[in-house]
A = this chain, B = another copy of it.
Amino acid sequence: MEVQIAVAKVNKYAVSESGDTLEVVERPNGGLSVVLADGQSSGRGAKAISQMVVRKVIGLLAEGVRDGATARAASDALFTDKQGKVISTLNIASLDLSSGTIVLTRNNPAPMYICRGEQIDLVGEESIPLGTSRNVRPLITEIAIEPGLTIIIYTDGLVHAGKRRGIPMDVGATLSSILDDQDPSPQTLADALLAQAVSLDENRPADDISVLVLKVAARTGDNVRRMTVRLPIDGISR
């Protein structure tokens, strides 16, 4: 088998810094975790919050702390620092090779999707962001690693796309139409969801948007680990 991960991310229109932070960390007992946080509001303040949350979470994951405990710790730290005045969403998608499972941790009102072939399941139980109170609990979903599995996670910028114009994004319908194509790659899926959202916002995203797709496939190639990053730069602030 192989696991393929793709991320597509844009900033809110005319804002140079995204309030969303996404990082990938290796797990000390095998596998990796993708951590995505969306800090309240936008721009530099939101970035500082989401970076603080992601930093806390990946530091603890690297020490072998379990995913749910890292989310609680990040929430407590944020609440202690900001007294509930600033909140942040958090999603962790972990490929845990020691248990043979994918562990999905969510503190985010935005739902996520778990797809097996063309079957699409919405995971949308009520979920509360970090930093809202002293006792925030993450929702944990654990599923076996098996070929054909696709997981779609996103920040609320995707959900809110188009609302300004009264034609809100239907993530499920968009997803379904993309999955109708022959076995789309994770990057194709992430790009298509993001493109639809940006188009509904008339190319001026009303919020930061991040889309994360994780797919388990039958092994198609060699045993090389690969990573690519593409980072557009708009002028350098010297």
Contacts and interface: CB of A to CB of B under 8 A. Distances in A.
A157 B4 CA distance: 25
Contacts of A219: 232
Interface string A28-49: 1010100000000000000010
B55 A3 contact: no
Contacts of A97: 233, 236-237
A234 to B, nearest CB: 7
Main secondary structure of the interface of A (DSSP, over half): mixed
A6 B229 CA distance: 6
24 contacts: A5-B227, A5-B229, A6-B226, A6-B227, A6-B228, A6-B229, A7-B225, A8-B224, A9-B225, A10-B225, A11-B223, A23-B25, A24-B227, A28-B48, A30-B237, A32-B229, A97-B233, A97-B237, A98-B237, A99-B238, A194-B224, A223-B234, A225-B231, A226-B228
